[in-house]
Structure 1
Amino acid sequence: MDIFQAMAEHGHEQLIFNYDKTTGLRMIVAVHDTTLGPGLGGMRNWRYESEDAAIEDALRLSRGMTYKNAFAGIDFGGSKCVIYNDPDGKSDLLLRA
């Protein structure tokens, strides 16, 4: 996957990767558009087949949040966080990370 091309196709502004060594947390935050205000979106904890699948989902979901927030008439752009882990393997440490 060409990440920069994927971001450019739909006008994404940022893609942020985070890894927590202690818990094994792997997180991707996608910011689509902040024209109307800071990015607003939720978090998805999912068992993705691959890192590319997690990236594609974060980009798709953040774009959807841009439109949802605009349709709601609120001054926020779109963003979304995906947690790329086994959702059944939640631990207290992981949830606090």
Structure 2
Amino acid sequence: MYLSNIKLWNFRKYGPANNFESNPNLDLNFEPGLNVLIGANDSGKTAILDAIKLVLRPNTGEWIRIDIEEDFHNGKNKMKIELAFENFSNLEA
């Protein structure tokens, strides 16, 4: 199994969403194996990793803090993170 795609709406640097339901601000595909995020400072690399962590973080009893000032793009009141996975084995499904 691997993460094949991430879509972000109004998450940190990736906003504002003009059409919240159909047009994500980031639509990034991944390939099986190693994927590398390369970019200038403040280009959104950490935002992508943090969005993945926010969705996949195991429930360990820790609070997941979403900061309105930092995580929502320019004071928007909703955001969306969508992850897609491919090549599930029978055991993983």
Q: Which protein has the bigger strand share?
A: 1
Q: Which protein has the bigger helix share?
A: 1
TM-score, normalised on structure 2? 0.29
TM-score, normalised on structure 1? 0.28
